[in-house]
Structure 1
Amino acid sequence: MTQATNLQPASSPIVASVIGCTRRYPGVLALDNATFQVAAGEVRALLGKNGAGKSTLIRMLTGAEIPDSGSVSINGAELSHAGSGRAQESFEKGVRVVYQELSLVPGMTLAENLFLGRWPRKGGVIQYAEMEAAAAEAMGRLGLDLPPNRLVAGLSPAERQLLEIARVLVGKPTIVILDEPTSSLAAAEAEKVMAAVTRIASEGIAVIYVSHRMNEIRQIAHSATVMRDGRIIDTVDVKGADTREIVRLMLGSEASRTAALENTGSDKVVLEVRDLALAPKLNSVSFALRKGEVLGIAGLLGSGRTELLQSIAGVRRFDAGQLLVDGATVKPGRYKEMLRRGFGYTPESRKEEGIVPLLGVDENTLSTNFSGVSKTGVLSSRMMAQATRRVIDRLHIKAARTDTPIGTLSGGNQQKVVIGRWVYANSRILLLDEPTRGVDVEAKAQIYAIIRQLAAEGRSVIFVSSEIEELPLVCDRVLVLRDGTLKDEFISPNIDQDAVMAACISGH
């Protein structure tokens, strides 16, 4: 791999420098002696798997974090504040960031959103004409031709993303950081965002572009910095870089193969998906799930993994295609019907959608079938405690009492309860969306063991994860979701995480 030492635009000054920065959290070395620089007018891609240190590096630049050692400089001036004023200092020096989660207010106009919290006033009165003129100018810089007095609620996803980018152009930014700006967009919409990035860079503004979509990165980035385990591994010329080599830099020398899992599956197909489509993410997805099989679905953020599970679970009504359960066609968009047929679904967002924090472990566990712990229609405290204790003991959930509020448990134990809910319901087909997100290493290993045990009992599992390295540890097969369809298949013991990652970003 060619070291990219002069990939920034010729003669362009360095606008942001992170020199020898280290940041430790309890039990975690988040940033390890990292040195990073970006020049005016440069588009620098920032690559790395989850936990590589990308977010910590970004927080250093924005002033949200202070390094334990090392320095951060913007336009040649070191950030010097040690408290809450550091973020304001970074902002005043021209650092802007657009996070993955959009922060627009749908009920406000485009202009009001662009100047949110900074509305121009005169004598205490908001100057709407001035605000709308400045908003039109900022949007025009990105080719966004929309009325400034239009409500955000009526915008398309791409227009909302562009509006977020336009908001950071208000003022005089010198560096703009974009965190997965196209992850929720279809290909045609993503092109508009990339065109906006090119426009920004042409004005001499440095851009840090966080993404794994290699086709986008090759189109717009001058170079890519790869991070791993809190360290800057290399900075490379993306136009000449081989995708597999970039994957190797991201994953390092980690063992990419694992010992063969004990295959507990049979040839009986319990679920068949035929040509499922759900605009704009899915266009033709087909696969079969067998009894006792753990089937992994890999793909980039925004590839449609969650939409696929929701379509199967009946949470979403898909546009076209067929679902067959035990050979019989089922109608789309009927969640209760899928539950009746033995499906269980755990959502990606555990805290927002998976649990009721103030309710007990018992109520969260038994919510799928309260009738099983009732007498003549009245809940039995004794039966609830007994049923919950069986799930707690089986899944090794650490809870002082069966009625302990689930919100007081660790993330790993909360996730075990979410899975345990479907164990209690005796669900035979489990749809697990990021079941190990936000849990520690020990809890992950326990969840893997739980899933393998459920498979050994004849239950079937679809396991969606953005952490490629865990798929070989738990899955019998892995399918790669890319460009709205399933592109590649890997079968244990030949699930090579380097190859899976390359398949995810190939064409991207």
Structure 2
Amino acid sequence: MSDTSAAAAPDTEIVARVRGATKSYPGVTALDHADFEIRAGEVRALLGRNGAGKSTLIRLLSGVEAPDEGEIEIGGRPLGQGGIRQAAKLGVGTVYQELSLVPQLSAAENLYLGSWPTGGGRVDYGAMRAGAEEVFAELGVAISSDTRVHELPLAQQQLVEIARAFRARPRLLILDEPTSALAAAEAEAVLEAVTRVASRGVGVIYVSHRLDEIRRVADTVTVMRDGAVVETVPVRGATTGRIVSLMLGHGGGEKEPAPRRRAPAAASAAPLLSVRDLAVPPKVESVSFDLHPGEVLGLGGLMGSGRTELLRALAGFTPSRGTVEVDGSPVAHPTPRTMRRLGVGITPEDRKGEGVVPLLGVSENMVMTWFGGASRAGTVLPSRVSSIGRDLIGRLSIKAASPDTPIVNLSGGNQQKAVIGRWLHAGSRILLLDEPTRGVDVEAKAQIYAIVRELAEQGAAVLFVSSELEELPLVCDRVLALRGGRLRGEFTGDDITLDNIMAAAMAA
């Protein structure tokens, strides 16, 4: 294992150094004796699969948490137990994936949030505007300092976040997936701003899985795996295959799961769902595929690839362009009601926010999409709701004290099974599963895989979307790789491997 910067000159100041950092949580070692350093003016990309330790390393450098073992230095001074305030004082600025702006305030007010310039006991708005415009000019950002943040497009809101961190003149700027919510054209301004920040001597840690962006903006790339820093290599000359190999750990005894083979019946049957040139601006450019009865079709893509936008369009929640056919018949204007009547069901990525009504019972959550069988003469009968709930709870092996137990009391895996059960009750033939195993334990994942396979064997057509690419070979008959709003690869049989999927999802 190594961590040597190939881009910055050896005599350039080391702005941040991590020595032997270890961080553990109950049941897991998130960071294992990690060593890391970055120099002034260097842009360091940070790559790794989910759970590799990237977020933990960022939290330690930002002062959000302290290591159990090891040392962290910023500008040659120990961070110690000083926390976020000490990290900021030493020169660390962090821009997280989720925006933290106040939408109703102006761009200038957001830049100076918590440290407004004053004069005569009042906020000096003139000084604030002048300071904001100076920062924007340094970053090459064309934003009016008086514009309310909620009036700005998402890309410019992201630039305001970066400008706010840059205004404090940091030694180290950490950017966590700054373009994940942006289309390629929108990301351009962010990449230019990152280059300008680095040109002023700031070390930048750039977390992203978009290799085209990394090749544009980064000097070096550090790959993490299983809580350890595996290697740091120059971006120039680092092939996609080399990076994927470092992320997956080939040669270290890790084996990929045996791929599934596409069911012959699915290959020959007429498609239940046909999609042609589907576009959901700005994230999905043009996507075409068929989904057959009895088939589990995987859709693999990294953050910001357009996965969720595509599924929401197919379910009728998001306006789109292109052609969608169900059972050979075109759907002129897909809406949630229309698609539901045609047998399309969706489990959303945000299970807690969009998938369940927390205080309602398990059975109530499972019948709420379609009250057929649970009502008589237009009146919903609680006894029938409970009866349907008991049947689905048994069928899906949901662990609940009773059908009336509030669904919020169930584990994540059991909540997810209940959301799938909702569409079984509705008789859906086409299931759009968006991150169906996110936030569930290993046992629950295996149970959800089994449910998905059983549904396919009964003739359902399943579109299984996941950012955890390693699970796609376990459950899918065919896999499509999505990157930048377009399909970049299709894999069947023995070609459904983690290497192939990840390379297609990441390649520049």
CA deviation vs aligned residue, 1:392-431 (integer Å, no higher than 9, x gap): 1111111112111111221111111111111121211000
| Counterparts in 2 of 1:429 and 1:252: CA distance versus 1, 3 Å | same
1:198 aligned to 2:199? no
CA deviation vs aligned residue, 1:319-374 (integer Å, no higher than 9, x gap): x2111111110023311010001000111111111111122212111111124212
Alpha-carbon separation, structure 2, partners of 1:490 and 1:105: 44
Alpha-carbon separation, structure 1, partners of 2:384 and 2:479: 40
Alpha-carbon separation, structure 1, partners of 2:432 and 2:260: 23
1:440 aligns to what? 441
| Counterparts in 2 of 1:360 and 1:17: CA distance versus 1, 3 Å | same
* Structure 1 segment 31-70 matched on structure 2, within 5 A: 31-70=31-70
Contact 2:361 2:406 survives alignment (8 Å): yes
Select which of 228, 232, 243 maps to 1:231. 228
Of residues 372-381 and 104-113 in structure 1, the stretch that sits farther from structure 2 once superposed is 372-381
CA deviation vs aligned residue, 1:151-196 (integer Å, no higher than 9, x gap): 1122122211111100101222110001111112222221211111
Contact 1:218 1:238 survives alignment (8 Å): yes
Alpha-carbon separation, structure 2, partners of 1:50 and 1:327: 38
SS at match of 2:416: helix
1:161 aligns to what? 158
Of residues 257-266 and 227-236 in structure 1, the stretch that sits farther from structure 2 once superposed is 257-266
Alpha-carbon separation, structure 2, partners of 1:330 and 1:37: 55
User: Structure 2 unaligned runs (5+)?
Assistant: none
Give the superposition deviation at 1:259: 4.5
CA deviation vs aligned residue, 1:51-101 (integer Å, no higher than 9, x gap): 1110000000011111111111111111222xxx51111111111111111
| Counterparts in 2 of 1:215 and 1:9: CA distance versus 1, 3 Å | farther
| Counterparts in 2 of 1:174 and 1:438: CA distance versus 1, 3 Å | same
Contact 2:19 2:72 survives alignment (8 Å): yes
Give the superposition deviation at 1:260: 2.9
Q: State the AA in 2 paired with 1:24.
A: S
Give the superposition deviation at 1:455: 0.6
Alpha-carbon separation, structure 2, partners of 1:93 and 1:432: 45
Of residues 120-129 and 274-283 in structure 1, the stretch that sits farther from structure 2 once superposed is 120-129
Contact 1:472 1:492 survives alignment (8 Å): no
Give the superposition deviation at 1:222: 1.2
2:507 aligns to what? 506
Give the superposition deviation at 1:118: 2.5
SS at match of 2:495: coil
CA deviation vs aligned residue, 1:194-235 (integer Å, no higher than 9, x gap): 111110001111000001111211122111100011111111
Q: State the AA in 1 paired with 2:70.
A: G
Q: State the AA in 1 paired with 2:442.
A: V
The TM-score normalised by the length of structure 2 is 0.96
| Counterparts in 2 of 1:187 and 1:412: CA distance versus 1, 3 Å | same
1:354 aligns to what? 355
Select which of 272, 275, 286 maps to 1:273. 275
Alpha-carbon separation, structure 1, partners of 2:11 and 2:306: 42
* Structure 1 segment 295-444 matched on structure 2, within 5 A: 295-318=297-320, 320-444=321-445
Give the superposition deviation at 1:2: 9.7
Give the superposition deviation at 1:145: 2.4
* Structure 1 segment 72-87 matched on structure 2, within 5 A: 72-81=72-81, 85-87=82-84
Give the superposition deviation at 1:276: 1.1
Contact 1:20 1:71 survives alignment (8 Å): yes
Q: State the AA in 1 paired with 2:284.
A: L
Contact 1:60 1:67 survives alignment (8 Å): yes
Alpha-carbon separation, structure 2, partners of 1:261 and 1:407: 37
Q: State the AA in 1 paired with 2:60.
A: M
Contact 1:257 1:495 survives alignment (8 Å): no
SS at match of 2:324: strand
Q: State the AA in 1 paired with 2:414.
A: N
Alpha-carbon separation, structure 1, partners of 2:287 and 2:324: 11
| Counterparts in 2 of 1:321 and 1:295: CA distance versus 1, 3 Å | same
2:204 aligns to what? 207
* Percent of aligned pairs with the same amino acid: 55
2:248 aligns to what? 251
Contact 1:157 1:185 survives alignment (8 Å): yes
* Structure 1 segment 101-180 matched on structure 2, within 5 A: 101-122=98-119, 124-180=121-177
Q: State the AA in 1 paired with 2:282.
A: P
Contact 1:323 1:332 survives alignment (8 Å): no
Alpha-carbon separation, structure 1, partners of 2:121 and 2:373: 62
SS at match of 1:23: strand
CA deviation vs aligned residue, 1:25-73 (integer Å, no higher than 9, x gap): 1111111111111111110000001111100000000111111111111
1:294 aligns to what? 296
User: Structure 1 unaligned runs (5+)?
Assistant: none
Of residues 352-361 and 113-122 in structure 1, the stretch that sits farther from structure 2 once superposed is 113-122
1:491 aligns to what? 492
Q: State the AA in 2 paired with 1:307.
A: E
Q: State the AA in 2 paired with 1:273.
A: V
1:92 aligned to 2:89? yes
1:481 aligns to what? 482
Alpha-carbon separation, structure 1, partners of 2:113 and 2:406: 37
| Counterparts in 2 of 1:9 and 1:408: CA distance versus 1, 3 Å | farther
| Counterparts in 2 of 1:406 and 1:383: CA distance versus 1, 3 Å | same
SS at match of 1:73: strand
Q: State the AA in 1 paired with 2:399.
A: K
Give the superposition deviation at 1:3: 7.3
Of residues 275-284 and 253-262 in structure 1, the stretch that sits farther from structure 2 once superposed is 253-262
Give the superposition deviation at 1:380: 2.0
Contact 1:9 1:41 survives alignment (8 Å): no
